[in-house]
Structure 1
Amino acid sequence: MIDSLLRQHLAGFRASRLLDVGPGYNAFGRIAAHVTGAGSVTYIDCNPDVIAWQAEECRKEGLTAEGLLFSLEPAALGALSGQYDLILCQEVFEHLSNAEAILTGLVDHLAPRGRMVVTVPTKGSEQWLKRINPNYMKNDPYGHVREFDEAGLRRLLREAGLQPLVFLPTQPHYFIAHTWFFGTRMQVEESTGKILTKGIRGFVSRKLFNLSKKLFCATGFERWGRLLPRNYFVVAHKVRPDE
């Protein structure tokens, strides 16, 4: 549903420069580029395979791509030049012990009238997955090291100088699919989100994902998002001095 939320909540917003931080193997940067009219996307990732894959996918869709290969450290953000109209930072901050410094550094590169899209897993869903799988995220070098409830995420945004325009609990189909996924000890590449486990478990995981998504869409996705929230979806802008 993140793709639909991007289309809905970025509709009418125009961007020339777009930055996608930690994109993994997803299409969100390209979706946002098409919605906002941006002709190119700049990607930051620590995995060269991700950068190469995103560049090729952009080429297929008539977009140009710039790849910046580095780990997210405050000093490394100096490699960014100028300001961006739109910054995507999705499923990133839960991996960072220095999330506050990184978000502040990114906001420094956000244009005055720019927007930032942030998604993170909800604290409740993270604790649920740890309950059904005590080894969840324990031994992965790129695993989750932070948890965010609504108050904590709002505080992170506020202290970085951002004000939410949209703040939604969402992704209930991922709550269902991840319960199976991590409950049955499937494996995922945490730095990219790439699923490593195949076979019957992978088949059932895909079926649960697709069927639950159809059910929730047919019966009220926003209501299910409040009941079984896997992620928060946020669109924010810079706080102006007079706000």
Structure 2
Amino acid sequence: MLTVDFDKLGLRQGQRVLDLGCGAGRHAFEMYRRGARVVAFDEDAAELENVATMFGAMRAEGEVPTGAEASTLTGDALALPFPDESFDHVVASEILEHIPEDEKAVHELTRVVKPGGRVVVTVPNRFPERICWALSDAYHEVEGGHVRIYRIEELFARLRKAGLRPVHRHYAHALHAPYWWLKCAVGVDREDHPLTKLYHRMLVWDLMRRPWLTRAAEELLDPVIGKSLVVYLHKPGVGVG
């Protein structure tokens, strides 16, 4: 399940891209499949082992074009181990809401993208996220959990202060918001509740089959209850080749 639209990002084959806080690697895999030179970066070394294994499997199965590259690196988003202007693009999906010093993280990701490059940031959308927080403390009061709910003006102010200029935004995953409301209502750690199990089966079915009805419904609902806010930004300067 992808949150980022890589056509809107302007991703092209051969470009060097950082997936900051890559987690399980869903965006890194798609960028690798599209022929980018990807660095999957995260603080979780165990998670990155799985990402590296998947990169290897993709290579072995011939799923990536000639020239595509992929590597993993463990580190701290507040002190990225890369020189200035190292990447054509940076993806930071669902990471800033976990970081107390988010302005420092934004400064770092801005530092490592080239002038003319693009950044895409995704965070939980305020309205559905507030419902989750209201329904369950356990949803966010965990180690490494969400430390804030962004107002869009607050997020944009942080990004502009770092030197980025927003160029487009949209919302994603409206069908996933009710799932998380159910999880929060019945207990986020409960895997056996019939309502959440049933809804999860529907989400998996939708992901695999992508029927027109649910696709149309999500497109209509995304601006209202989309689980994620997705912002595409430009770093002023000479265009990336």
> CA 1:107–1:14 in structure 2 vs 1: closer, same or farther (change >3 Å)?
farther
The match for 2:140 among 115, 137, 140 is: 137
The match for 2:168 among 151, 166, 169 is: 166
Are the aligned partners of 1:6 and 1:32 in contact in 2 as well (CA < 8 Å)?
Answer: no
Distance in 2 of aligned mates of 1:69 and 1:178: 29
1:53-64 paired onto structure 2 within 5 Å: 53-62=50-59, 64=69
The CA deviation at 1:70 is: 2.1
| TM-score (structure 1 length as normaliser) | 0.81
Are the aligned partners of 1:10 and 1:32 in contact in 2 as well (CA < 8 Å)?
Answer: no
The CA deviation at 1:14 is: 4.7
The corresponding residue for 1:113 is 116
Distance in 1 of aligned mates of 2:125 and 2:117: 25
> CA 1:26–1:199 in structure 2 vs 1: closer, same or farther (change >3 Å)?
farther
The match for 1:153 among 152, 155, 177 is: 155
Of all paired residues, the percent bearing the same amino acid is 22
The corresponding residue for 2:75 is 70
Does 1:224 pair with 2:224? no
Q: Residues 61-91 of structure 1: CA distance to partner in whole angstroms, max 9, x if unpaired? A: 2254322212332xx32x1145101111000
Secondary structure of the structure 2 residue equivalent to 1:116: strand
Which amino acid is 1:232 matched to? L
The match for 2:39 among 36, 42, 51 is: 42
Which amino acid is 2:114 matched to? A
The corresponding residue for 1:186 is 188
Which amino acid is 1:71 matched to? D
Does 1:234 pair with 2:231? yes
Unmatched segments (≥5 aa) in structure 1? 188-196
1:15-30 paired onto structure 2 within 5 Å: 15-30=14-29
> CA 1:55–1:212 in structure 2 vs 1: closer, same or farther (change >3 Å)?
closer
Are the aligned partners of 2:93 and 2:120 in contact in 1 as well (CA < 8 Å)?
Answer: yes
Distance in 2 of aligned mates of 1:80 and 1:60: 27
Aligned residue pair count: 224
Which amino acid is 2:23 matched to? G
Q: RMSD over aligned Cα, in angstroms?
A: 2.4
Secondary structure of the structure 1 residue equivalent to 2:76: coil
The CA deviation at 1:211 is: 6.3
The CA deviation at 1:186 is: 2.4
| TM-score (structure 2 length as normaliser) | 0.82
Q: Residues 123-159 of structure 1: CA distance to partner in whole angstroms, max 9, x if unpaired? A: 2222111222243311x11011121122112112111
Distance in 2 of aligned mates of 1:70 and 1:12: 24
> CA 1:168–1:96 in structure 2 vs 1: closer, same or farther (change >3 Å)?
same
Which amino acid is 1:203 matched to? K
The corresponding residue for 1:194 is none
